[in-house]
Amino acid sequence: MITPGQPTPGSTRSLGQLVAELNRLPGVGPKSAQRIAYHIAQIPAEEARGLAEAIIAVKDVLLFCAECRNLTDASPCDICANPQRNRDQICVVEDPRDLVALERTRAYRGLYHVLHGVLSPLNGVGPEDIHLPQLFARLDGASDPLQEVIIATNPTLEGDATADFIQRRLSGSGVTITHLARGLPVGGTLEFADDTTLTRALSGRSPLE
């Protein structure tokens, strides 16, 4: 295992540090981290600085949209501020990447709410630890008449538990509550679903009972 700050065989301490930091990224193994590090070491200095500045800008500039809690450079985000979106529908997703996946299909023209997680009592994640209170406050204080809440949590145990929690909380509100059709594989995630599957899941959603 690579120890942060320690050079890998044949490399310098600075390269070893970069490899170690890259190795901490999700989906980046030791070999991939080493390949990326050596690529960065060989590109022109201005390109490396551009990459570093982009990473810093993400941390300094990004914020939560005050309405949907998506990551954005300005609040409200482009989707919430778009007057062409259907304001009588809200699609609830776990992660900003799920929102991107659904937008890619061009099959949905409503609004979103991003939870940034799912309920997981075994891991100590309760309603207050994700953006559920903001969702309910948003629904309770909606100025536009809301007709449908689409629950688009991933088909996992935690995703289903979160969907059930939302359904129980909104029961009796008069709002139609639907869930994406099970065209999505159990245990899969929206991020990696193909466009056709997502489109069918959206069009085949059904009321929760």
Distance, CA of 81 to CA of 31 (rounded, Å): 43
pTM: 0.74
The domain segmentation of the chain, as residue ranges, is 13-61, 78-207
Please state which of the four CATH numbers 1.20.1290.10, 3.40.1360.10, 3.30.420.40, 3.30.450.20 is assigned to the domain occupying 78-207: 3.40.1360.10
pLDDT score at 2: 43
| Ramachandran class of 103: left when φ > 0, alpha when ψ lies in -120 to 50, beta otherwise | alpha
Q: What tens digit of pLDDT does each residue of 183-206 get? A: 667 677 788 888 877 887 887 777
8 A C-beta contact, residue 3 and residue 21: no
Question: 92 has which bridge partners?
Answer: 113, 151
Question: Which segments of the chain have a pLDDT < 50?
Answer: 1-7
The class level of CATH for 13-61 reads mainly alpha
pLDDT score at 50: 95
pLDDT score at 194: 81
C-alpha distance across the termini of the chain, in Å: 49
Please tell me whether the peptide bond between 121 and the residue prior to it is cis, using omega within 30 degrees of 0: no
pLDDT score at 6: 47
For tokens 């062409």, what's the residue?
84
